[in-house]
Structure 1
Amino acid sequence: MKIKQYRTQFIQELSPFYDAYEAESFFYLILENKHKLRQIDLALNHELSFTEDDFMVWDSLLEELKKEVPIQYLLGKTSFYGLDFEVNENVLIPRPETEELVEWIIKENKIFDKTKKLKILDIGTGSGCIAVSLAKNLPNADVFAMDVSKKAIETAKKNAINNNVRVTFMYKNVLELELLKYEYDIIVSNPPYVRNLEKEEIKKNVLDYEPHLALFVDDNDALVFYRKIAALAQKSLLEKGQLYFEINQYLGKEMVDLLEKMNFKNIHLRKDIYDNDRMMKVNI
């Protein structure tokens, strides 16, 4: 069967689970990752075909997609801030909103590249997408990252190596810490922030396959990680130090109130590309 014909079949079989645009995007992602072929290659050569072994791989991927397994896990990688990252069931799949947080940090601190050595800590690093992206784009920074999951740290270490940056990783449970080991110019965190009451809003591909440890918090204490990290930041941020968070879109006001009560300065709440309250920056 020619690839063009299989494409039609592939999209049709996924139609009960995804819209046509998303199904088509999956097809071309697999085509590029497995065969190094782009959409333009198929458009220019309608006679391209698969081997029997190719069909077996594609059919296997198709069945997994029908179960709504994330395409990023099936391919074992994803793109984030222009870099390639290995992802698996031990880490969250990086989101575009988090790219916005990284962009904010880089823009605010690029000016210091040649004049000041920055020390940055990423708490709850997961795949390492924030830490690695900052290390790549702020070459005058010493970047540290911690996570409570050893398997997540193993993945993040691979991503640092693959992207040719140096990040110091630490296996720590931030909720058990009374003091951070070093002082930092910047602390950033995208901690668990989805309340159990919001599970009904979560898509099956996230709820069934991404690690709940990195996603959910108790409804009765939804800001537990933010409160703890902010308290640690008060002790460990250097003068004029910056604290950045990705936050639950429904808890922007609560986050502002929390940080005001803790006497942080210059509190900025920023919306993401979807017009949701998503990021915060404060100064010590």
Structure 2
Amino acid sequence: MKNSKILFDDFIKEITLPESRDEITALAYLVFEAQFDLSRTDILLGKSIPADAFTTSKLSQIAQRINDHEPVQYILGKSLFYGRYFFVNPSVLIPRPETEELVHLILSTHAKDERQLNILDIGTGSGCIPITLNLEHKHAKVSAIDISDQALATARRNAEWLNAVVNFMQCDILHEQPVLSDLDIVVSNPPYIAYEEKSAMHSNVVDHEPHLALFVDDKNPLLFYDVITDKSKLMLKTNGSLWFEINERFGKEVAQCMQRAGFVDVNIHKDASGKDRFVSGLFIDPQQ
């Protein structure tokens, strides 16, 4: 048995990333929670844990991978989202806190709905959006699509692990129309980072996370928003809503895209950092 606080401090000393002490400590807490099921309080109190030579060797290997700028979520194979752990790997993006905010906005908007909500998530990745909506709203009937078979395999594994019911389908949204209709909600966190922004990004993101889910052509940064907005009109029922996570640079442009397509009550929502991060709007069917 070994004092977890001593082991924790030794682990932090092995991390040589050029980050603040607070950031490195936060990474270390993630590792110790995943590896030893320890809370911060457990560590601060020095709770004793089994720790042999194999354990310390494994911790050193994890520290080295962190020093090589590999995301800790990929090292651990899981990431926390909305209070649940999701399996992640390099075929899917690591779920972000901003996407938790998007899910929370949707749930808050529909908190009092007692009718069935038919929902589609476009570009689902790990499945964190549709799975969370299914588990958090008792009337949510959720489907999700992605172009990547590997991403869909990860999403299905997460749904099974978390006992969620989601209909996952392979679909290239740029070239195919999902065969769905009468939807109450379409939500998407599509690729929205222009390649010209790549040089300003951290290497742990650029070198490890899937570019297919991150980047869009510099010449057409609104490509996915234009396509998804148009295709959503064929799937949403009247008064159905479309929700996007966006690049903070393009809030007004995404809102205008939706307005041109006939969506009403279009709103730009800020994230916890005060940046334009989400856009929502209602579809009114002109034929009704």
Q: Which residue of 2 aligns with 1:41?
A: 42
Quote the Cα distance in structure 2 between the aligned partners of 1:38 and 1:258. 45
Q: Does 1:93 align with 2:100?
A: no
One-letter code of the match for 2:19? Y
Counterpart amino acid of 1:39? R
Cα RMSD, aligned residues only: 1.7
CA shift for structure 1 position 236: 1.3
Structure 2 residues not aligned, in runs of 5+: 284-288
Contact 1:122 1:144 in 2 (8 A): yes
The 3 A distance-change label for structure 1 pair 20 and 185 is same
Which amino acid in 1 is paired with 2:282? N
1:12 is displaced (CA, Å) by 2.9
Shift of residue 255, structure 1, vs aligned partner: 1.1
Matched residue, 2:212: 213
Question: 3-state DSSP class of the match of 1:225?
Answer: helix
Inter-partner Cα distance in structure 1 for 2:31 and 2:11: 11
CA deviation map 1:232-267 (0-9, x unaligned) = 111111011100000110011211221222121000
Distance 1:48 1:128 in 2: 34
Q: Which structure: greater helix fraction?
A: 1
SS class of match (1:238): strand
Query: Does residue 1:185 correspond to 2:184, yes or no?
Result: yes
Amino acid at match of 2:60: D
Out of 128-137 and 77-86, give the one that drifted further: 77-86
Output aligned runs, 1:115-154, within 5 Å: 116-154=115-153
Question: Residue 32 of structure 1 aligns with which residue?
Answer: 33
Please tell me the residue identity of whatever aligns with 1:245. Answer: F
The answer to whether the 8 Å contact 1:265/1:282 transfers is yes
Letter in 2 for 1:170: M
User: Is the Cα contact below 8 Å between 1:11 and 1:20 reproduced in 2?
Assistant: no
Partner Cα separation in structure 2 for residue 143 and residue 160 of structure 1: 11
Equivalence for 1:71 = 72
Gaps of 5+ in 1: none
Instruction: State the alpha-carbon separation in 2 of the partners of residues 80 and 10 from structure 1.
Output: 25
Distance 1:186 1:15, change over 3 A: same
Structure-2 residue corresponding to 1:231: 230
Shift of 1:44: 2.8
- Measured in 2, the distance between the counterparts of 1:185 and 1:43 equals 47
TM-score, normalised via structure 1 length? 0.94
2-structure distance, mates of 1:134, 1:178: 23
| Native 8 Å contact 2:77 2:87 kept in 1 | yes
Q: Distance in 2 between matches of 1:124 and 1:261?
A: 23
Distance in structure 2 (CA, Å) of the matches to 1:34 and 1:283: 45
The 1:20–1:265 alpha-carbon spacing in structure 2 relative to 1, beyond 3 Å, is: same
Output the TM-score relative to the length of structure 2. 0.93
| TM-fit CA distance, 1:49 | 6.6
Distance 1:233 1:48, change over 3 A: closer
Match of 2:286 in 1: none
What SS does the aligned partner of 2:69 have? coil
Aligned to 1:272: 271
Q: How many pairs are equivalent?
A: 282
CA distance in 1, matches of 2:177, 2:170: 15
Q: Any conservation in 1 of the 2:5–2:46 contact (CA below 8 Å)? A: no
Given that 2:181 and 2:237 are in contact with CA atoms closer than 8 Å, whether structure 1 keeps it comes out as no
Distance 1:81 1:16, change over 3 A: closer
CA distance in structure 2 between the aligned counterparts of 1:4 and 1:137, rounded to whole angstroms: 36
